[in-house]
Every structure is written in C-alpha cells, then in structure tokens.
A and B are shown apart, each in its own frame.
Chain A
Amino acid sequence: MADEQETGGVTRREFLKNSGLVVGGAVGGTVLGGVLGRELFPAPQQGASPEEDTSDSGNGGAETPDYTEARMFFKREEDFRVLSAAVERIFPEDDLGPGAIALGVPYYIDKQLAGGYGRNAREYMQGPFFEGAETQGYQSGLLRQEAFLQGVRKIQQESESRTDDAYFDAEEDTQDEILEAFEAGDIEMEGINATTFFGMLRQATLEGVYADPVYGGNRNMGGWRLKDYPGAQMAYIQMIEEDEFVEMDPISLHDHHT
C-alpha cells in the first residue's frame, strides 16, 4: 500500500503521527490540504535517464521530448553556445558526475533572463547612477539581460582575439584563462565591470545546478544527487536526532504538485 511505502524520508502515516495531526480532528485547512492531499512519493521524471527511470513512459516506450528546452531569451545560437561553454567550465562534468550542460544550466539561465530576474523587476533601478564603493553594492543601470548579452559576446571576442577560435571551440585551459580574466576585472565592459559580470555568471550557474528542476536546470535532480541533497522533503522530524548520516532519494516540487 502506498501509505506504508518508505520515501527514504518519512512515510505519510509516520508523518501524520509525528506531527500530532489527527484526521477528522481540529486541523487547519492548510494542513489537511497541504499534507494529506499531496503526493509524497517521487513520480517518474520526464527525461529521466534510462537507468533511473524504469517506468513505462506510456507512449510506446519512446522518450518524451522535453518541450521546455528551447530558447526564450537568447536569439543568436552563437551567444547560447558561448554561455553553455562558459558555465560548463564553472561547473564541469567530471568523475563525480554531470556538469552544467548535462544539468540544463544554459536553459535555466535563458529562462531566467527572459523573466523578472533578467529585467531586475524587483530591484531599485531609478537613477541617477553613480559608481559607488564596493560596500554599496550593485549600482549599474544595466539590466541582467543586457549584462549577459554583452558578457557572452565579450567572452567570444576575447577568445577570437587570443586564439582565432570561437570560445566554445577553444582549449579548456584557454577557456579558463578567459574566465579568470573576467573574474580579475581585466576585461573592459560597458556599464558593468567584468568582475561583477563574472560573479553573476557564477551565481546563475550554481542556481541552475541546484534550483528545483521546475526552473529548467538541475535536470532529473542530478545536481541534488551530486550533493546527496534530499530536495523538497516534507519533514525531517523522524531523523533529526540521528547521529549517523541519513541518505534519502531526493524529491522535487513536482512530487508535491497535485
């Protein structure tokens, strides 16, 4: 019975017992709706890798394409390829597991730039603009959309002038040197300094690796698996006092979605 199944975290029954919530008792609507009505168990993931997805996908075994993997913000193919190569250097594939590209980070960033984040929607963007002290934080009028476009093109330019190659075709060492030059602030940019841009790129990469898969990165929770992070679990009351490390299969917001 599904109710008895181990989630690796807490079973639904245990959860209700521990939380002191009794069905039919004086329980607030949100608790009933939020806990009982919610699927605690991982559902098969769209686009899951074959060894992890043993379920029949229901359309004759053919893998369902991920229709969300298309560009919403970057128009030029080249820009997107530069972005992809750069984030892969920040979080590379290695023996430990997938890197930024395999985790969907470029799509994550593309989607973010197309929305409120890309337009700095909830930030104070009124002038006048002055260069401030570091302690005063971001002071540019440049939107993130503009900063990223300018940034990836500068990366490409830098690569072409150093090696004649596109950034995505350059040697890994060269790719790293170029990013280091941005990080050190050695590249001239307009309206933003290269160090700040690099910080944004690094931060966006980590977000794409580790944000809930609903945002298009952390594909199949692969970022979380790298860290043994259990994701959007309901509760840890059943193991909080444990001395030993407790591993659990991750679950995502999708698993809570009813």
Chain B
Amino acid sequence: MATELPRKQAVVVGVGWAGGIIAAELTKAGIEVIGLERGQEKTVDDFKMQKDELRYALRYDLMQDLSKETITFRNDQDMRALPMRQLGSFLLGTDVGGAGIHWNGQCPRFLPYDFEIRSKTEERYGSDKIPADMTLQDWGISYDEIEPYFQKFDETIGTSGEDNDLTAPRSEPFPTPPMKETRALRKFKNAAEELGYHPYQVASANLSEVYENPDGQTIQACQYCSFCERFGCDYQAKSDPVITVIPTAKETGNFELRTHANVRRVSYDGEKTDGVYFIDTRTGEEFYQPADVVVLTTYVMNNTRLLLQSEIGRPYNPETNEGVIGKNYCYQVMASAQGFFEEERFNLYAGAGALGAALDDFNGDNFDHSDEDFIHGGIVQITQTGIRPINTNPVPSDVKSWGKEFKEASLHYFYRTLTVASQGASMPYRYNYLDLDPTYKDALGDPLLRMTYNFTEQDRKLAAHQTKRCAEVLEAMNPDKIEANEDIGDYDIVPYQTTHNTGGVIMGGDPETSAVNNYLQMWDCENLFVAGASAFAHNSGYNPTPTVGAIAYRAADGIKKYFENPGALA
C-alpha cells in the first residue's frame, strides 16, 4: 500500500529545464509545488574535476543508468523490438537538472514556419506537397503568440548571440553579445559570405560575459574549457537548471524538491487526476503524492510512457491513424561533410559546447522548395566544441581503422579536420511512433517504452540536399580533400546523433489529432499538463531546448490561469 503524503497544490514530475522552469514560475506566483525527481541531488560542487573524457563522454557518468530503465527499438513494425542495452544515438539525462546539466547550450529558436507548418506549406506549394503518410500538423499556436515566452527563456539563461536576417525575429536584442570567434569559424563565415549566404555566430548558453538574470541568478563568463558537451560546467558559465530556475524556485520558500522519487503512475478517474504514485528508489517504498495539478516534465520517453501506463489519453494506432499518445515521434536528420586540411592545424582542443557559426539559408522555408521533393531543411553549421582524443580520430575513409597506418593518420589529422554539418528537420510519419513494449520491463517491472522509427523518403532527400550544401560551404573553405556521404541509410541507434527526440504527446488545436492544447494542458484531463519536446508536432532543423523552454513558460502561464479559473484553457 502506498503511503499518502500531504497534499500539494502542484506536483512537478522530473526536474530538468522544463520542470525547473514551471516550478520557478508557479512558486514565484505563490503556488506550493513539490518536485519529484528520480535521480539524485546535483549541485555545482558536483561539476568540479570533470575534465575526464573517459568518465563523462564515454562512460556517461551523468546520464541515465540503463540497467534500471531503457527503451526498446525497431526500425519498423516487421522487426522485433529489442532493448537499447547501451547508450548511443541519444543520451538521456537523469538527476536534478536533467540533460540540462550536460547539454551544449546551442540556443536557436524554431522558425515562424514551424508553428504553422502545414498551413504555410499548403499555402505556398499546395496540399499535394505533403505526402499522405506524413502526419504533418500545425502546433495550435503562432510564432507571434509564443515569442514572448522565447524571450523569457532567453532572459532567464542570458543567451549570447547576434541578429541575423534568416533566424526567427526577436522582440528584444540578445541579453549578452556573441561568443568569441576562432580561426575555423572565421573560415566558415568567409566561405559562406563568398557564396552569398548569411552566416552568424550560434546563439549560446555558454555566456560571453557575466550576466544576472531577472530572477537574480548570476551566470559566469565561459572559459572555453572544452569539457562542455556531456559535462557539467566547472564555472557556472553554462546556463543550466541547477544555477537558474531551481534556486529561483527554492528561494521562494514554496518549493520542496524530493529526489530518488521514481514516478510510475498518474492517478486518473476518467476526467481528472488527483496525484502521482512513486517509489523511493533507496528503499523501494511506495508513496502517493496528491496534488490539485499534476505536471509531467520527464522528457519525451517518460512523458509518453507515464500516460500510456496510466491509461490517460487515447493511445496512437498507426493502422487506423487514430489516437494521439505516442504519435509523431520525430528526431533529427543529420548530414555532414568532412574536410582534411594538409597545411593548417586548428586549435581544436579548445572550444565550448555552443561555440559555432551557422547559416539558415537552407532551413525551414527560407528557400524555395517548388522544385524539391521534400519540405523544410536544416541549419548548416560548424561547431568548435573542443575535440578530445579518445572519441576524435578522424582519418580519410581509405585508411584502415587500426595499426601503424591508422596511428599515423589519426595523429596527423587530429587538428587538420573540419566538419560542416546540418541538423536536418524531421517530419512526422504515420509509422514512426511510440508505444509500450509487450516483452521488456524496467527494474520495477513496468513495461519499457517501444520506439518504432526509421528515416523516410522525405528524410533521405532532405539529407542528400543538406549534404551537398555542407560540402559546398566546405569546398569554399579550401580543404585538400572532402568526404561526404549523402546516403543516411537506416536509422541506427548505436552512433551518437543528437539528444533531440521529439513528439509522443503533441500539442495542437484539435483534440482529435493532438494530446495537449497550446497551454500543454491534456485535452482528456484538465488538471494534467505535459511539457517538454514531447509536445513538438514535428522537429525543426535546430536544437530544441529554447523551444522547450518557451512552451514550458507558456504551460506555467496556463497553470496559473487554471488555478484562478479551473477548466479547459482552450
């Protein structure tokens, strides 16, 4: 029997960026919140002595322990789904702060096109442009409506960046100026300009200068230490939830944070929820936390899984194309070109997670797709995140991968290789979805989430197009040799791509085709809000977190409204 705890006004499940933002906003408004986080407490003292590639980048010290919980995966319905036994393609976060601790901090906003993608695509190219099995939807909100929330997120984290004609328009300038340039970045920008494109410095949460946010939290200046992607910041210079929204929530006195609390179920009487059930992972004891409002911010995988397990909302069925929970799982379609420079050695050991230059000439609908048989595109960028010696051993493809020849080439090319890459947008497809696995269980005996996902024709064409664009810019940078592969093959869960998983609990304007409204309130359960990239109806050609942040601020507004005036908000 679950031990019942004292009732709270709101319970936030999962305390990363999304959970932290919502907790901060609600507690500032005087609402009593408890945050339940399955992982441990993390403080800035945990991020000292992190300059250890093996421990953090290869053994995934800060990421989810898969012996306790993972997902299963198959490319299509004819395959048997098997567990993701080791981390690879994406690196799930855990502990207080979630993946916000070990993210890079690249901070682009999605484009106005993204939020009304179906309408705008049909308007410009006609409805035939969208293939029948592409379950493309508008998000139920326009960019203009969501812009103030983007602005809030930028002010909270102090985003460093510069304006550009092709990025999403901003109501206010960036809170802090762009990061420094390196030789590699200058080379990229010069080449892009030569070609008539519009390069800019990537928007960054590795701050260019010391910044105090509107909540009074201070973020230090980035030291370009290069132990950034997959690491916590030694200097409090990478905006993360532990130095911003979580202390803000705590300082109100209205926030209780409970760690080692693994939530398994959300109560539901067919109309509303009354709280959540969780296990204290240290003792195995079960608790019930009652609350007036429940907020799920456990990332894409567990937001979807908790709803399916709790039987809230209609599970998606790809055969009938009905139902919503698990629908429109999307990812990122990566493309790249690698250049080998015999005469130049770049200081690539130095860098920062969000140090980069980019162009959006081939992103969103910034270019004409009339003669293309795909829609959308992707950011084209060069990043200097700081290469490390175990994971970075670039050699031309005709070099054997071990032995004398490999040793020589990998030493030679270590600082002589630059990559131009595109994070391509990912369009939803009827047969790419999430549901519960019939066979495999987590350590508590609950079914794992099952992912059915492969690249589609749209993705392959987009990747081929973006590869050419990457190679074109790289060519103008004058390398001695370029290697690029246009064929992305089948989606493979082994090599790291991005932790930009999206969908499963998507937002929209119609309860028939979406799970939550544009306040991220469940259509089928008015006091349950589900926030995170799970709400994305597709994934854009960018990193997701500013958009996660924006919709989290939007959800917080919705929850405050709900406390004032309960009922459906849309």
Residue numbers of A with Cβ under 8 A of B are 15, 18-21, 26, 28-31, 33-35, 89-92, 94, 96, 99, 116-117, 120-126, 128, 130, 132-139, 176, 179, 183, 202, 205-207, 209-212, 214-215, 223-224, 226-237, 239-243, 245-246, 253, 256-257
Contact = CB atoms under 8 A, between A and B. Distances in A.
B44 A122 contact: no
Query: Of B44, B58, B402, which is in contact with the most chain A CB atoms at under 10 Å from its CB?
Result: B402
Which 5 interchain pairs have the tightest Cβ spacing? Answer: A236-B350, A235-B223, A232-B51, A210-B389, A211-B54
Task: Summarize B's interface: helix, strand, loop or mixed.
Answer: loop
Contacts of B48: 30, 33-34
Query: Of A28, A91, A92, A123, which is in contact with the most chain B CB atoms at under 10 Å from its CB?
Result: A123
Nearest to A257: B49
Contact of B223 (A89, A124, A237): A237
Given A135-B492, A240-B180, A207 B225 contact: no
A133 B84 CA distance: 12
Contact of A137 (B45, B47, B84): B84
A91 B401 CA distance: 10
Given A228-B415, A240-B180, A242-B183, 9 more contacts: A18-B223, A96-B407, A132-B80, A202-B402, A207-B58, A212-B52, A233-B51, A236-B225, A253-B51
Contact of A253 (B52, B234, B415): B52
Contacts of A229: 349, 388-389, 414
Contact of A20 (B220, B224, B407): B220
A125 B75 CA distance: 21
A68 to B, nearest CB: 16
A130 B220 CA distance: 49
Contact of A19 (B221, B345, B441): B221
A139 B403 contact: no
A28 B234 CA distance: 11
B45 A29 contact: yes
B493 interface: yes
Task: Summarize A's interface: helix, strand, loop or mixed.
Answer: loop
A137 B347 contact: no
A125 B389 CA distance: 29
A125 B83 CA distance: 9
A153 to B, nearest CB: 21
Given A20-B220, A91-B402, A122 B66 contact: yes
A29 B47 CA distance: 12
A3 B304 CA distance: 54
A16 to B, nearest CB: 11
Interface residues of B, number: 74
A205 B401 CA distance: 12
B401 A123 contact: no
Interface in B219-241: 220-227, 234-236
Contact of A94 (B51, B350, B407, B491): B407
A128 B439 contact: yes
Contact of B414 (A212, A227, A242, A257): A227
A245 B54 contact: no
Contacts, number: 196
Nearest to B85: A124
Contacts of B84: 124, 136-137
Contacts of B401: 202
Query: Of B54, B65, B225, B345, which is in contact with the most chain A CB atoms at under 10 Å from its CB?
Result: B54
A96 B409 CA distance: 11
B404 A92 contact: yes
B474 to A, nearest CB: 19
A124 B82 CA distance: 11
B59 A245 contact: no
A226 B408 CA distance: 10
B393 interface: yes
Interface string B276-303: 0000000000000000000000000000
Given A94-B407, A232-B52, A242 B347 contact: yes
A137 B86 contact: yes
B221 to A, nearest CB: 5
A240 B220 contact: no
5 contacts: A18-B223, A123-B67, A183-B402, A207-B54, A235-B223
B109 interface: no
B349 A230 contact: yes
A123 B134 CA distance: 35
B511 interface: no
B73 interface: yes
